[in-house]
């Protein structure tokens, strides 16, 4: 994680002192950015590897969270079945749901600024999930999907979550069920991406995760589960069987 943070800081510094920006500033002749010759740290392998059974986890959430902690249950579903990030879940409003087309739109709102322009997009939802959230919608008490007494703080200079208490309860529950690590809630988003990739391919996963490019998806999130072979091995077994038959005939 330290190397990733260093590389992120270096890229930001390079961008700040890039030729495209420096041309608007009067600088001494021959000025060269001090970061021009600084090398990035070697890229670390960040490919996601599934470490929990999502089907069992969904079953446990349905049994344990749906009635005892509906807000944590909603957050769990939005992360694991729609691939939403923490901030997106926290600021999600009911108007984001397109009930007719069974999808969810993530975009800029009065209270929420997207991570990047590439983060804007639609997420297709399972029909069963839409039915469940329609029921939640009938019982809503406000405009936000996750109920909380904490008010949003748009423009805050630090990460502020209305649903921090809900996230903490859900994080504790996830760890109790084997989803460990620094960010158990984000692991649900990664699992979502891996599931989409396994069923529909990396390009579909990139769209569902709303990444800026498919390279990000391939580098960080996905775990290949389906076996990928040429199928030519069948010729070998056929050849071996033929050899046995020929020997029997001699």
Tell me the average pLDDT across 144-157.
88
* One-character DSSP codes across the chain: -HHHHHHHHHHHHHHHT-HHHHTTS---TT---TTTTPPPPPPPP------S-HHHHHHHHHHHHHHH-HHHHHHHHHHHHH---HHHHHH-BGGGEETTTTEEEE---SS---SSGGG-EEEE--HHHHHHHHHHHHT-SSSBSS--SSPP-TT-SS---TTHHHHHHHHHHHHHTT--SS-HHHHHHHHHHHHHHHHH-HHHHHHHHT-SSHHHHHHHT----S----STHHHHHHHHHHHHHHHHH-
Q: Which of 18-27, 76-85, 117-126, 203-212 has the lowest mean pLDDT?
A: 18-27
Q: Which of 94-108, 145-159, 219-233 has the lowest mean pLDDT?
A: 219-233
Question: pLDDT averaged over the chain?
Answer: 84
Tell me the average pLDDT across 158-177.
95
Tell me the average pLDDT across 194-207.
92
What domains can be seen in the chain, in order of their start residue?
1-44 (no CATH), 54-220 (1.10.443.10)
> Quick one: pLDDT band at residue 8, thresholds 50, 70, 90?
low
Is the model's pLDDT at 2 over the cut of 80? no
Is the model's pLDDT at 152 over the cut of 80? yes
pLDDT tens digits, 86-132: 999 999 999 999 999 999 999 887 767 656 666 788 999 999 999 99
What pLDDT is attached to residue 213? 87
Is the model's pLDDT at 150 over the cut of 90? yes
pLDDT tens digits, 21-60: 667 777 677 777 776 667 766 666 567 888 999 999 999 9
pLDDT > 70: percent of the chain: 75
Among the listed residues 81, 105, 75, the one whose alpha carbon sits nearest the alpha carbon of residue 191: 81
What pLDDT is attached to residue 7? 62
171 vs 182: which has the higher pLDDT: 171
Tell me the average pLDDT across 204-229.
81
What pLDDT is attached to residue 154? 75
> Quick one: pLDDT band at residue 79, thresholds 50, 70, 90?
very high
Tell me the average pLDDT across 161-182.
96
């Amino acid at each position: 994680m330290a190397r990733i943070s260093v590389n992120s800081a270096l890229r930001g510094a390079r961008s700040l002192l890039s030729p495209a920006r420096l041309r608007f500033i009067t600088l001494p002749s021959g000025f060269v950015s001090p970061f021009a010759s600084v090398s990035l740290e070697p890229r670390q392998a960040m490919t996601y590897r599934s470490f929990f059974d999502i089907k069992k986890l969904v079953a446990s959430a349905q049994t344990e969270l749906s009635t005892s902690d509906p807000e944590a249950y909603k957050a769990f579903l939005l992360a694991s079945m729609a691939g939403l990030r923490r901030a997106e879940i926290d600021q999600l409003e009911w108007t984001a749901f397109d009930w007719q087309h069974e999808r969810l739109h993530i975009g800029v709102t009065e209270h929420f600024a997207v991570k990047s322009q590439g983060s804007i997009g639609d997420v297709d939802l399972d029909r069963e999930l839409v039915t469940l959230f329609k029921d939640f919608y009938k019982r809503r008490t406000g405009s936000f999907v996750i109920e909380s007494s904490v008010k949003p703080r748009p423009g805050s200079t630090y990460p502020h979550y209305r649903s921090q208490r809900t996230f903490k309860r859900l994080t504790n529950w996830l760890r109790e069920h084997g989803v460990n690590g620094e960010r158990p809630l984000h692991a649900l988003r990664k699992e979502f991406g891996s599931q989409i990739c396994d069923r529909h391919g990396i390009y579909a996963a990139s769209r569902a995760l709303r990444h800026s490019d498919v390279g990000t998806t391939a580098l960080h999130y996905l775990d290949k589960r389906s076996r990928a072979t040429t199928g030519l091995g069948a010729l070998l077994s056929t050849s071996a069987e033929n050899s046995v038959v020929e020997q029997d005939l001699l």
